[in-house]
Amino acid sequence: MSDGILFQAFVYLCAAVVCVPIAKKAGLGAVLGYLVAGVLIGPHVIGLVGTEGHDVMHFAEFGVVMMLFLVGLELQPQLLWKLRRPIVGLGGAQVVVTSALLTGAGMALGFDWRVALAAGMILSMSSTAIVLSTLAERSLLKTGGGQASFSVLLFQDIAVIPILAVFPLLGVAEVVGGGSEHAAAAGDERPAWMTALLVLGAVAGVVAAGRFVVRPAFQFLAAVRLRESFIAAALLLVVAIALLMQEVGLSPALGTFVAGVVLAESEYRHELESDVEPFKGLLLGLFFISVGAQIDFPLIGDEPLTIAGLVVGTMVLKLGVLLALGRFFELDRPARWLLAMSLAEVGEFAFVLISFGVQNHIYGTSVASPLVAAVAISMLLTPFLFVVLERWVLPAVTRDSADARPHDHIEHADTPVVIAGYGRFGQVVGRLLRSIGIQCTVLDLDPEMVDVIGRLGFKVYYGDASRPDLLHAAGCGRARLLVVAVDDPEQAISIVKTVREHFPKLKIFARARDRIQYYELKRHDVAFVHRETFASAYEMGIEALRALGYRGHTANRLARRWRAHEERELDEIAAMWARDEERTTIFARVRRAFQEAERLMRDEDPQVFVDRDAAWDNEALRVDRRPDDDATVPPP
Amino acid sequence: MLFAHPVLERSRVNRKLMEGVRELEGVTVHDLYEVYPTFGIDVAREQALCVEHDVLVFQHPFYWYSAPALIKEWLDLVLEHGWAYGKGGDALRGKLMFNAVTTGGGDDAYHRGGYNRFTMRELLAPFDQTAYLCGLRYLAPFVVHGALRLAGEATAPAVAAYRGLIEAIREERLDLDRAQAAASLAEVET
């Protein structure tokens, strides 16, 4: 079909656009929406997509790769180091214990030990794609339970490598070698030590490249100021790493995760995040749709009890193991339940492993098909499990548990202040705050500036602050104050509008170029607006007065009074502007303000001012004084 | 000498007094309202000035029975614990201190039965005690009463007396015991 790709794209997008918002509105989460969309358009319901679902899935798995890249970007190396105990301990225990128990169950059901072991390892995997995106969607990723789930998932990603290495050994000896065309199986053609060396070399290469190649490259690209080239470079980076990892037999997801961690401390982190994010979202959606479309309903119809037993048995067993491990690793009750219920399903790695098992002749399709169906159904059930968890389980265990406490928020690099625009204006604000020990996150569009300031030890990020994703990445959701210090008036207004829309509670301070911009910013409810040249001109005015012979204190008092008058007028006019009053009315008001100011100026002939100023006024007392009145002269 | 007058341009007496001693050898007139117009006192600089001099004179109009606000700010910031008082706070020990003030009311107002009910020494008790705590020797105030009525030539005797007093202190001719006990430095013959 010549219109194949377009038609498919139409179907997939249509399904996503219809199902995802409905699922979200119903509180079921976007993942379930995609899965249901997949079921609907799949071969067994409407039948709009058929066998090509498998190819689509292969492509869409790249969404998982991107997701782990983004997860890596969120994780600084020292944070990862802090998680070493849960990753190795909890993750290792989960994989080993679950695999062992499932193997035992398989053998008890009369399967060959090799088949049982392969199935056990396959089913011990959980779904990184579903769990991480659901946790992120529900802001549970930073909680104790979320961190534990993440650690286990990360270990599973690593565990895939030895599992892939073990599978050929489980196969019937005489047909080994059939799986060599599978990219991930490349490892079995080389001796084990070489594979290990290659893996280590690849990881080291990614780390070194992240440090010494990627940063200068992005610096160069940022200087070109072409957004497309930056996005292309970000995607290229992810694709290149994925390819490299596949070549050495490592999971691409793991490779990009390492790359993400390496780049987590670079100043282009936020920009990378917001560039890759939309692609990840779409591909992941595509991935979930194809999972939904793969569910083999006729097979389920044929063997309902087998499949149901497989699904329920596996999930209950995984749940039990995770709960026990959670207790052993001293997680509090809500965290234990979050961990157990989020990881009870079987994950997307299972699909890869199942087909790999067939290739290695460990088992035939009679075992593989029910497994695939069971895995897909367990994934379909996961969003429901999350709903159950959030509606019933978490409230119950939180209420019951004596050690109930708010979710553990792990250390986050967020700063209380975000400064957009770090030119001459923003720098003064930033340096002042920093001198007092208040850290700021800085966003700027000038790559050279980003580079210089970054070297001075600031948290600086390259990017356009009027983009909501970037503002989000910079921590506007948690910051207490945003300082808009960009010099372009239109950009300033557009940043303010975006922030008002996405972070309505965030307090904004803004720099205004002139009066009109001042009015506009005030209209958008900016708490504090400063005309950019006003303060320094004001200071110079005071110095001018002193140079003309005014006493320092008097010059300051005069200037303060004038300024108060000036700002009162300005705010009154800004209020009229915000009410969208007739321009003629506003102009009349402005004219009056100027006349007023002029009158004030005229009155401020030194003598007039000094004599009219009632403070410390002795003249009045002198006039009023009665002969017998001996009061000390006070200020009024 | 710490001089404080928020609106010197309107001053009649204080300015004359200050101008009368400004040129004297060994006298530094420190015009606080001019140096710190926004009250941002440089503590280190003020402390260095104090160390360099042997006598602290607070010259100011007597506003609301006390000094103008900047003098209070100066005391609050400059007389640090560990420097002026408390453990190791002996930077000012043994120096002399007094107030030179101009009042609107007459001499007779500052008595039990007078309009202002208290004597000048009573009203200046916070300065007295501050000096005591810092180990300074607090002398009676130099007071020019009825400053509102003084103008032009009429200020000359006060200016001369003030100048004479400062010179006597500098040349160590002042009887410090009497100066400490007196109601006003004007009573102490130099």
Q: Do B109 and A625 touch (CB under 8 A)?
A: no
CB < 8 Å to A631, chain B: 104-105, 109, 115-116
Q: Note whether B148 contacts A631, CB cutoff 8 Å.
A: no
pLDDT at A402: 41
**C-alpha distance from B123 to closest chain A C-alpha (Å):** 12
Which among B8, B35, B109 has CB closest to A630?
B109
Q: Provide the residue range defining the domain that includes B81.
A: 2-187
What residue of B is the nearest CA neighbor of A621? Answer: B148
Q: Are A122 and A363 in contact (CB under 8 A)?
A: no
Contact across the interface for B62 and A632, Cβ inside 8 Å: yes
Which of A538, A605, A632, A633 to substitute to test the interface with B, most B CBs within 10 Å?
A: A632
Which chain B residue has the Cα nearest residue A549?
B9
Per-residue confidence (pLDDT) for residue B138, from 0 to 100 = 96
In this prediction, residue A399 carries a pLDDT of: 60
Q: Rg (Cα) of chain A, in Å, rounded?
A: 33
In this structure, which amino acid lies at residue A343?
Answer: L
Of A610, A622, A630, the CB nearest to B108: A630
Q: Which residues of B lie closer than 8 Å to A, measured between beta carbons?
A: 6-10, 33-38, 61-65, 103-106, 108-109, 114-116, 147-148
**Long-range contacts of range A199-202, CB-CB < 8 Å, 24 or more positions apart?**
A199/A161, A199/A248, A199/A249, A199/A250, A201/A248, A202/A244, A202/A245, A202/A247, A202/A248, A202/A250, A202/A255
The reported pLDDT for the residue numbered A539 is: 94
Which of A288, A319, A335 lies closest to A129 in space, CA to CA? A288
Q: Which residue in the set B7, B36, B64 is minimally distant from A610, CB to CB?
A: B7
Closest chain B residue to the Cα of A624, Cα to Cα: B148
Dist CA A253 CA A235 (whole Å)? 14
pLDDT, residue B94, reads: 93
Q: How far is A622 from chain B (nearest CA, A)?
A: 7
Q: Where do the domains of chain A lie?
A: 18-44+73-188+274-399, 417-603
Contact B63 A635 (CB under 8 A): yes
Query: Which tokens sit at B187?
Result: 């009573």
Chain A residues within 8 A (CB-CB) of chain B?
Answer: 551-556, 606, 610, 613, 615-616, 618-619, 621-622, 625, 629-635
- Residues 6+ away with beta carbon under 8 Å from A449: A422, A423, A460
Is residue A199 within 8 Å of residue A245, measured between CB atoms? no
Q: How many CB pairs under 8 A join A and B?
A: 76
* Residue given tokens 């402005």 in the structure block: A590
Torsions phi, psi for A486 (to 5 deg): -70, 155
CA distance A536 to chain B (A): 16
Interatomic CA distance for residues A328 and B14, integer angstroms: 82
Ranges of beta strands (E only) in A547-616 are none
Q: Could you give the CA distance from residue A622 to residue B150 in angstroms, rounded to a whole number?
A: 11
Please give the residue that has the higher pLDDT: either B180 or A603.
B180
CB contact under 8 A, B9 and A555: no
The pTM of the full predicted model, rounded to 2 decimals, is: 0.53
B39: left (phi over 0), alpha (psi -120 to 50) or beta: left
Contacts of B108 in chain A (CB under 8 A): 630
A-chain CB neighbours of B112 within 8 Å are none
Give the pLDDT score at A408. Answer: 31
pLDDT at A601: 60
Kind and range of the H or E run holding B99: strand B96-102
Q: Given B64, B108, B115, which is nearest A635 (Cβ)?
A: B64
A551: nearest CB among B8, B106, B147:
B8
Paired strand residues for B61: B102
| CATH number of the domain that residue B116 is part of | 3.40.50.360
CB A305 within 8 A of CB A287: no
Question: How many angstroms separate the CA of residue B185 from the nearest CA in chain A?
Answer: 20
CB A271 within 8 A of CB A463: yes
Per-residue pLDDT tens for A191-239?
Answer: 667 777 877 888 788 888 877 888 788 878 877 777 788 888 888 888 8
Total number of domains in chain B: 1
Q: A632 and B116 in contact by Cβ < 8 A?
A: yes
Report CB contact under 8 Å: B6, A610.
no
Angle at alpha carbon of residue B122, lines to B120 and B127, rounded to 5°: 90
Residues of chain A with C-beta less than 8 angstroms from the C-beta of B34: 551-553
Nearest CB to B9 within list A610, A631, A633: A610
Angstroms from B50 CA to nearest CA on chain A: 23
Give the one of B33, B103, B148 whose C-beta lies nearest to A622's C-beta.
Answer: B148
Residues A434/A417, Cβ–Cβ less than 8 Å:
no
Superfamily for domain range A417-603: NAD(P)-binding Rossmann-like Domain (3.40.50.720)
- Comparing CB atoms, the residue among A552, A556, A621 nearest residue B104 is A621
Chain B residue with CA closest to A626: the answer is B105
The more confident residue out of B155 and A2 is B155
Residue B9 pLDDT greater than 80, yes or no: no
What is the average pLDDT score of chain A? Answer: 79
pLDDT tens sequence across B93-112: 999 999 999 998 888 888 88
DSSP A187-218: GGGS-HHHHHHHHHHHHHHHHHHIIIIIHHHH
CA atoms of A282 and A177, how far apart (whole Å): 36
Closest-CA distance, B120 to chain A, in angstroms, reads: 11
pLDDT at B161: 92
| Angle at CA of residue B104, ends B101 and B108, nearest 5° | 95
- For residue A435, give how far its alpha carbon lies from the nearest alpha carbon of chain B (Å): 18
CA–CA min distance B105, chain A (Å): 4
**Residue-wise DSSP of B1-38:** -EE--TTGGG-SHHHHHHHHHHTSTT---EEHHHH-TT
A634–B64 C-beta distance less than 8 A = yes
Residues of chain A scoring pLDDT < 70:
1-3, 50-57, 139, 172-192, 398-413, 600-636
Residues of B in Cβ contact (< 8 Å) with A635:
63-64
Q: Which residues does chain A have within 8 Å of residue B63's beta carbon, measured at their own beta carbons?
A: 616, 632-635
Which range among A625-634, B75-84, B151-160, B180-189 has the greatest average pLDDT? B75-84
Report the phi/psi class of residue B78: left, alpha or beta, with left for phi > 0 and alpha for psi in -120 to 50. alpha
What ipTM score was computed for the predicted complex, to two decimals? 0.83
For B103-143, what is each residue's pLDDT tens digit? 988 888 888 888 889 999 999 999 999 999 999 999 999 99
The topology under which CATH files domain A18-44+73-188+274-399 is Na+/H+ antiporter like fold (1.20.1530)
Residue of B nearest to A636 (CA): B64
Element (DSSP H or E) covering residue A132: helix A128-137
